[in-house]
Amino acid sequence: MFSGDPTLLPLAVDWSSLTDSLFLVNVGILAGIYALLALGLQLNAGFTGISNFGQAGFMAIGGYTMAILTVDTGLSFYVSLPLSMLAAIAFGLLVGLPSLRLREDYFAIATLASAEVVRIVAQNAQGLTNGNQGFFCNDDFSRCFDDKWNSISATIIGWLQDLGWSDPEALFPLLLVVMLAVLLVTIALRLTQNTPWGRVLRAVREDQDAARALGKNAFAYKLQSLAISAAIAAIAGWFLALDLATVHPTDFEPLVTFFAYSVLVLGGLANYWGVIAGSAVLWALLEGTRVLKLFPDDADTAALRFAIVGLTLILLMAFRPQGMFGKKEEMVLGD
C-alpha cells in the first residue's frame, strides 16, 4: 500500500480530502492531552488507589514553568522542559507529603484545593504570569515561549512536504508529537505494571495495611505515584501551551481534572490502553455533537458538553463502573 509513488500515500490523500482537517487535528491534540492527564490519574486512582483531583494544577505548573523559564530566564526550550517537569514533581511532593496521610475523601478535597491555589496564583501574580492576559512572550515580544517549538514544527512540516504532502495543517506536527508522547507514556506505565514496584502499588491499593505488614512503605509508594502523575500532567501542560500558543489561568480550571476523570472511567480503571480509547471516545462525543451543529448557539453547545460528560459519568458509575476496558477483578471503585 505504501510502496510506489510517495504522492499516492493514502494518508496524505485521506487528510487533504477531508475539508475539516484543521478541526480533526485540533480534536486529536486535545484528546491526546486529556489522555496524558488521565494516564496520570490511572496510575493514581487505578493502580495506587489514591483519588488525585489536582491534575489541573500540576498541568498548570508544567505549562507556566516551561513558558516562564524559556521567556524570562532565557533558558533553552529543551532545558525548560525537564525543569518544568521537576517543578510539577516538587509541587506534587509538597501537596502529597501532608495530604497523603489523610483519608481518601480528605485527600481528594485537598488536592482539588491545591490546584485551585495554583490557578489563583497564576491569575493574580501578574508580574510572574501576566495574570488574566495569559502568558506568551516577553515585554518587547522579542522572545516567545514557543519560538523554538515553532521552528521544530516548521522542520517537521518540511519533512512532510518532502514526503509529498503539499499542505499539512500547521498544528499537524504537534499532533504527531502529542500522539508519540501518549504512546511512550502508555508503554512506560504499562511496563511498570509488572515490575515489583508496580505490584507493590497494587498491593497498596488493595490493602494498605497488608502492604505495610509486609514491610513496604505504603506512604512512599503513594507519594511516588503522585509525583509521577504530576510529571505526566506537566507534559500535558506543555502541549496545551503549545497548542493554544498561550498559557492562561482559565485553561486550568477544576473542570479539566473532571474531564480527565471522565476519560479515565470511560476507558476503564486499571487499564492503561483503555485511557487512550476513553479519550478518543469522549472527544468524539464532545466534538461530534459540534459537527452535527445541533445548536447554533455557542452557549448551548457548551451546555451540551456538560450534559454529555455529566450523563457519561452518572451512567458509567451506575451501570458499568469498570468502563469499556476496565478489569472487573481489579475493581477499585466498589468495596
Partner 1 sequence: MEAGTIAVGENASGLRRLRDAVSDHPARTALILLGLLVIVMIAAKGLHQVAETGLSGLSTGSIYALGAVGLTLVYGILKLVNFAHGDFVTLGAYVAYLGNVTWGLPLYVSLILAVIAVAALGVLSERLMWAPMRAKRAGLLQLVLMSIGLAFLIRSLIQFEWGTEVLSLDVNKTATVEFLGLSIGRTQLVTIIIGIIVISAIGLMLRLTLLGKRMRALSDDLDLAETAGINTERIILYTWLFAGGLAGLAGVLAGTILPLQPELGFTLLLAIFAAVLLGGIGDAFGALVGGMVLGLATEWSTLFIDSRWKLAVGFVVLILVLIVRPQGIFGKAKVV
Q: Which residues bind partner 1 (CB under 8 A)?
A: 45, 51, 98-99, 102-106, 108-110, 112-114, 116-117, 120-121, 123-124, 254, 258, 261-262, 265, 299-300, 302-307, 309-314, 317-318, 321, 332-335
What's the closest the beta carbon of residue 53 comes to partner 1, in angstroms?
8
Count of C-beta atoms within a 10 Å radius of residue 66: 30
- If the CB atoms of residues 83 and 313 are measured against partner 1, the closer one turns out to be 313
Task: Spell out the residues 6+ positions from residue 235 whose beta carbon is closer than 8 angstroms to its own.
Answer: 36, 62, 85, 181, 185
- If the CB atoms of residues 140 and 335 are measured against partner 1, the closer one turns out to be 335
Burial 180-196 (b: 16+ CB within 10 A, else e): ebbeebbeebeebbeee
What's the closest the beta carbon of residue 132 comes to partner 1, in angstroms?
10
- If the CB atoms of residues 77 and 295 are measured against partner 1, the closer one turns out to be 295
Distance CA 150, CA 135 (A): 16
- If the CB atoms of residues 9 and 121 are measured against partner 1, the closer one turns out to be 121
- If the CB atoms of residues 29 and 43 are measured against partner 1, the closer one turns out to be 43
What's the closest the beta carbon of residue 329 comes to partner 1, in angstroms?
15
Query: Residue 128, by phi and psi: left (phi above 0), alpha (psi -120 to 50) or beta?
Result: alpha
What's the closest the beta carbon of residue 49 comes to partner 1, in angstroms?
9
What's the closest the beta carbon of residue 228 comes to partner 1, in angstroms?
19
- If the CB atoms of residues 5 and 105 are measured against partner 1, the closer one turns out to be 105
Task: Spell out the residues 6+ positions from residue 39 whose beta carbon is closer than 8 angstroms to its own.
Answer: 182, 185, 186, 189, 232, 272, 275
User: For the range 118-121, what are the long-range contacts, defined as Cβ-Cβ under 8 Å and sequence gap of 24 or more?
Assistant: 118/57, 118/60, 118/61, 118/91, 118/252, 119/56, 119/57, 119/60, 119/249, 119/252, 119/253, 120/249
What's the closest the beta carbon of residue 334 comes to partner 1, in angstroms?
5
DSSP structure class, residue 43: I
- If the CB atoms of residues 10 and 334 are measured against partner 1, the closer one turns out to be 334
Backbone angles phi, psi at 248, to 5 degrees: -130, 140
What's the closest the beta carbon of residue 133 comes to partner 1, in angstroms?
14
